[in-house]
Amino acid sequence: MSTGLRKGLTSYGDAGFSLFLRKAFIKAAGYSDDALDRPIIGITDTASDYNPCHGNAPQLIEAVRRGVMLSGGLPMAFPTISIHESFSHPTSMYLRNLMAMDTEEMVRAQPMDAVVLIGGCDKTLPAQIMGAASAGIPAIVLPVGPMVVGHHRGEVLGACTDCRRLWGQHRAGKIDEAEIEVISGRLAPSVGTCMVMGTASTMACMIEGLGLSLPHSAAIPAPHAERLRCGEATGRVAVEMARRGGPAPKALLTPGSLRNAMVVLQAIGGSTNGLVHLAAIAGRVGLRVDLEEFDRVGREVPVLVDLKPSGDHYMEHLHHAGAVPRLLQELEPFLDLEAPTVMGGTLRDYMNLAEEVPGQTVIRPRSNPLKSTGGMAVLRGNLCPGGAVIKHAAATPALLQHEGRAVVFTSVEDMTNRIDDPSLDVAADDVLVLQNAGPKGAPGMPEAGYLPIPRKLAQAGVKDMVRISDARMSGTAFGTIVLHITPEAAVGGPLGLVRTGDRIRLDTANRRIDLLVDEAELERRAADFAPPRPAPKRGYAKLFHDTVLQADRGCDFDFLAGEDDPAE
Ligand code: FES
């Protein structure tokens, strides 16, 4: 296989001319023949004024460049799209596959022997790994790192668990307009990703557990000098990978490493989004995430990391406590430590780098877990033949076994319009149901699964209710919330058959959620099914609608899942 500048020549029908032309153009940027003869390391540039989470990407790119050049390689940064949670309409998930396609095709189209994937804000790292896995060249991940914490009136704050908690207090009339404005300036006090165990932190930890990034890379805060040294080291390793010709992501994404990622996801009390993204990543190398296996892992692996929203601390505290390598040490009995990593060794090497931090309480020992079982459970039942997920670590224990009357919202818009209506017929023991918020329904499976508590109940002191939907939920959110109900309502799933007044039973202990309506009535309702809105006719919206898979397949596009042609 050709390497360096000779890789993937532009088709002019004359390979010699193609290389000659390529050299002629790149020399316009001042490169010497010596530089152009080195292993080429691509570096994804996902800096964007719309993405403050990636605000340190320019400094990280410089650090990676330094590492690449110190090891004798040629760094070549190139842009891809960037996705920030709060600047993506209708939702970042809608754009994840577009970023995966962009990353895959730019990695494939441009000559590089290895690629450094710099990302972090929720959907970006999954998108980049999906793309790189399909492109098939050696790839190493460098997360941008978490923000440092904020402070307000003596309290430690962080995006975005505290965003939700304090906004809830504002809705309940306990925080006035002036104070909530002050708080908005203190929740995200630096560049970097949300510093609770939200989706960004979850993915960074899982990726380290998958051996796709360097040890400690998940938790070093974004503004720390150590993050830059991690960038330099990543550049060095990328050159070694280019020289060795591997490992490509496919060699690292094995059934064993995927199970390791599930173990980490459960032990950190991670975001439910981690499961969707893991399914999409696995799909790119022809593997499936087994939801029953994930549930089994959850029954035996305790939650050991004491971070919000399940616990009390933040990512910088996890870093100071020894981070993922220290966690791996606690998880040793559950892990396949022979799983390979980007460094050419095994996950055992990562674990052996663990530092013992006297007195730390962020990473609990197995003998004193935060929760005795994992953070998430997989539910089945007549409401979700394809499965659903509940993050019981962040739920109200008394609501995990619950039967109540359904109060149905037929779309996100319907919910927005009615949830705070004082005349809404709702009580604290009802079950709030949101339909048509899945992959096709919304579209893009928005993080709308955290239905707000109706204002009149919130003002009366209600803090949690059972809420169910085919949507996702931010990893920073909390509550007794059933998500990812599959198949979704918009494709005729049973969730769409629920009517206000029906009874619903949540039985988390037995991993079930059921609609207590007889079969004949459900068949009558199913006969009246109609899609919630007309299918889009053009552009990315049509591509998304026509090809997006359900949550159990990671919401990838059907034509992107599976193994692809090898890179040239
Ligand atoms: Fe970027 Fe939370 S908004 S990680």
**Banded model confidence at residue 193, pLDDT cuts 50, 70, 90:** very high
The strand order across the sheet containing 481-483 reads 377-379, 388-390, 481-483, 466-469, 431-434, 401-409, 503-507, 512-515
- Of 317, 184, 334, 213, which Cα lies nearest the Cα of 264? 334
* Pocket lining: 204 vs ligand 1, CB cutoff 6 Å: no
Please give the tally of structural domains in the chain. Answer: 3
Q: Which of 84, 147, 314 to mutate to test the pocket of ligand 1 (most atoms within 8 A of CB)?
A: 84
- Pair (176, 283) in one structural domain: no
pLDDT more than 70, % of the chain: 99
Which contacts (CB < 8 Å, 24+ apart) does range 206-209 have? 206/261, 206/264, 206/265, 206/270, 206/274, 206/278, 207/125, 207/129, 207/141, 207/143, 208/264, 208/324, 208/350, 209/257, 209/260, 209/261, 209/263, 209/264, 209/324, 209/328, 209/347
Which of 194, 202, 277, 472 for mutating ligand 1's site (highest number of atoms within 8 Å of CB)? 194
534: its two tokens: 């007309």
205 within domain boundaries? yes
Question: Residue 84: pLDDT band by 50, 70, 90 thresholds?
Answer: very high
- What is the average pLDDT score of the chain? 95
Closest approach atom of ligand 1 to CA 160? 2
Query: Do residues 422 and 435 share a domain?
Result: yes
Quick one: pLDDT at residue 366?
96
Closest residue CA from atom 2 of ligand 1: 194
Please check whether residues 315 and 438 belong to one and the same domain: no
Does 23 fall in a domain? Answer: no
On whether residue 47 sits in a domain, the answer given is: yes
Ligand 1 centroid, distance to 182 Cα (angstroms): 20
Neighbours of 477 (CB within 10 A): 24
Atom of ligand 1 nearest to the CA of 476: 2
Output the CA–CA distances (angstroms, integers) from residue 64 to 42, 128, 238, 361, in the order listed. 10, 17, 9, 33
Work out whether strand 74-79 and strand 401-409 pair parallel, antiparallel, or are unpaired.
Answer: unpaired
Residues 512, 434, single domain; the answer is: yes
Tokens 């609609």 belong to residue = 515
Residue of 33 and 564 predicted with greater confidence? 33
Residues 41 and 135 in one domain: yes
For the Cβ of 474 lying below 6 angstroms from any atom of ligand 1, the answer is no
Determine, yes or no, domain membership for 536: yes
For residues 398 and 409, membership in a common domain is answered with yes
Packing angle of the helix pair 291-300, 255-267 (nearest 10 deg): 50
The pLDDT value recorded for residue 567 is 41
* Whether residue 194 has its Cβ less than 6 Å from ligand 1: yes
Q: Determine the pLDDT at residue 568.
A: 37
Q: Is the pLDDT at 446 greater than 60, yes or no?
A: yes
**Ligand 1 lined by 315 (C-beta under 6 Å):** no
**Residue 564 confidence (pLDDT):** 55
Residue 227 CB less than 6 A away from ligand 1? no
pLDDT higher than threshold 80 for residue 305: yes
Q: For residue 199, give the ligand 1 atom closest to its CA.
A: 4
Q: Is 463 exposed, middle or buried (0-12, 13-18, 19+ CB in 10 A)?
A: middle
pLDDT digits (tens, 9 = 90+) for 165-190: 899 899 888 999 999 999 999 999 99
pTM: 0.95
Categorize the per-residue pLDDT at 82 as very low, low, confident or very high, splitting at 50, 70 and 90.
very high
Residue 378, SS3 per DSSP? strand
In the reported structure, the alpha carbon of residue 200 is separated from the centroid of ligand 1 by a whole-number distance in angstroms of 6
- 428 and 317 in one domain? no
Output the CA 193–ligand 1 centroid distance in Å: 5
The pLDDT of 10-36, averaged and rounded, is 95
Identify the domain boundary among 318, 352, 386: 352
Residue 15 within a domain: no
Residue keyed to tokens 């990353």: 103
Q: Are residues 339 and 408 in the same domain?
A: no
User: Is 193 touching ligand 1 by the criterion CB < 6 Å?
Assistant: yes
Do 163 and 231 lie in a common domain? no
**Interhelix angle for 161-171 vs 177-184, to 10°?**
170
Answer yes or no: do 268 and 283 share one domain: yes
- Tell me whether residue 61 is in a domain: yes
Bridge-based pairing of strands 401-409 and 503-507 is antiparallel
Strands (E), 59-160: 74-79, 114-119, 139-143, 150-152, 155-157
Residue 365 placed within a domain: no
Q: Which atom of ligand 1 is nearest to the CA of 122?
A: 4
191 CA to centre of ligand 1 in angstroms = 10
Domain finish residue from 134, 166, 184: 184
Beta bridge partners of 363: 305
* Residue 205 and residue 111 share a domain: yes
**pLDDT, tens digit, for every residue of 340-385?**
999 999 999 999 999 999 999 999 999 999 999 988 999 999 999 9
Residue range of the domain that includes 290: 4-8+31-148+190-352
Answer with the one of 163, 184, 205 that is the final residue of a domain.
184
- Tell me the pLDDT tens digit for each residue of 511-556: 999 999 999 999 999 999 999 989 999 999 999 999 999 999 999 9
Six-digit token pair at 513? 């959620």
Run of H or E residues at 483: strand 481-483
Is 363 inside any structural domain? no
Q: 310 with 413, same domain?
A: no
Under the banding of pLDDT at 50, 70 and 90, the label for residue 477 is confident
> The domain that contains 500 carries what CATH number?
3.50.30.80
Ligand 1 atom 1, closest CA: 121
